[in-house]
Amino acid sequence: MSIAAETAAVPTGTWQADTVHSSVAFEVPYAVATFGGSVTDFDATLADGRLTGVARIASIAVKDENLEAHLLSPEFFDAERHPEVRFTTDTIRRNGDDVEVDGQITIKGITQPATLRGTIVGPSVDHFGKNRVGLSLETTVDRTAFDINWNMPLPNGDPALANEVTLKADLTLVGQGS
Amino acid sequence: MHVLAISGSLRRDSNNTRLLRALREEAPEGVEVTIWDGLKQLPHYDADDDGVPGPPAVDAFRRLVRDADAVVFATPEYNSSIPGALKNALDWGSRPLATNAFRNKPVAVIASSAGAFGAVWAAAELRKVLGAMGARVAGVELAVGHAGERFDADGRLADDDVRQGLRDALESLIAETTPNLQAA
């Protein structure tokens, strides 16, 4: 097998997110700019070419506790009834450093297909001798497809909050047993 | 299951309070409806007075909401919106915002007015306010128009359709509350 073919393959085996060096975040146009936040409590695993992830929505972090409470409320994620956001893989494709993951994303108990696109780095050995893979992925979802419908009209009649939300995951995955 | 019922009207012969009495009569076995009569005792909201402890009437109101499994409101419509006294109670009840007594609380809104539209705009406003407070707003839309004609001389609801509407509203509220009770 050539070196080029090896680097173009999706890594086999099991890789677990090093969550200290990983992040899961969202961005959404709000009024005149882009508003963003993150979810700090999550897990992600790449096992036999399938990426799975789960984020505990109670750990949503924005810069205001009242806004966090609003995001957890039934008007947004309804974290009491739907505590987790999940992703499962159907197929994953690697072309050099580019990667696409077709899968299913579940938010507020509703599952919709989604394609995550981004880049993949590695596997490569880190300074502690561990094998690591970097995955940087994002997708855009229509939040109303997940029953997240809150909005407020601006004075000009436009909605304050866009429906299209960008979800981002920057993952450092560590080879298990490596 | 304990349901706290709040009328937005202070008037002695309020149609909305009478509706809540009828709703209490229609409660199924195991569902206890308590009609709150403390609305008039609440002071005007003032953040300077919102300490620990707060005004006794406010602390008592917040405790009642926390202890209830669900809350049902009956509101009239004043100037296309909800009465100031009711909004004042919700303003007290919504603090502190992130941990307020209404957060995740199943709530339902019914409404009535002397006119044809049954306070439908006030009901929409009330649902909006409750949603912003973090309550779990049940999909109940019972707006009783011409309310003065629905009660007999003793003030008892004499309209079978409205009674059915009240039973349906309670059923929706109970359905919204059941997962909370199962999780407890």
Q: What is the pLDDT along chain A (178 residues), one digit of tens a residue?
A: 444 444 568 889 999 999 999 999 999 999 999 999 999 999 999 999 899 999 999 999 999 999 999 999 999 999 999 999 999 999 999 999 999 999 999 999 999 999 999 999 989 998 888 899 999 999 999 999 999 999 999 999 999 999 999 999 999 999 997 5
What is the model's pLDDT at position B184? 67
Q: Which of B139, B165, B140, B167 is nearest to B150 (CA)?
A: B165
What is the model's pLDDT at position A5? 46
**ipTM confidence:** 0.86
**Crossing angle for the helix pair B56-67 and B84-93, nearest 10 degrees?**
80
Asked if A141 and A116 count as a contact pair (C-beta separation under 8 A), the reply is no
Alpha carbon distance B184, B181 (integer Å)? 5
Alpha carbon distance A13, B38 (integer Å)? 65
Chain B contact present for A75, CB below 8 A: yes
Chain B contact present for A64, CB below 8 A: no
Asked if A133 and A175 count as a contact pair (C-beta separation under 8 A), the reply is yes
Asked if A46 and A66 count as a contact pair (C-beta separation under 8 A), the reply is no
The residue of B99, B104, B173 whose CB has the most chain A CBs within 10 angstroms, and thus the best one to mutate to test that interface, is B104
- The pLDDT of B18-39, averaged and rounded, is 97
Shortest distance, CA A70 to any CA of chain B (angstroms): 6
The residue of A60, A70, A71, A152 whose CB has the most chain B CBs within 10 angstroms, and thus the best one to mutate to test that interface, is A70
Asked if A103 and A124 count as a contact pair (C-beta separation under 8 A), the reply is no
> If interface means Cβ-Cβ distance under 8 Å, which residues of chain B face chain A?
97-99, 103-104, 131-132, 134-137, 179-180
Provide the whole-model pTM: 0.89
Tokens 């359905």 sit on residue: B175
Alpha carbon distance A139, A174 (integer Å)? 23
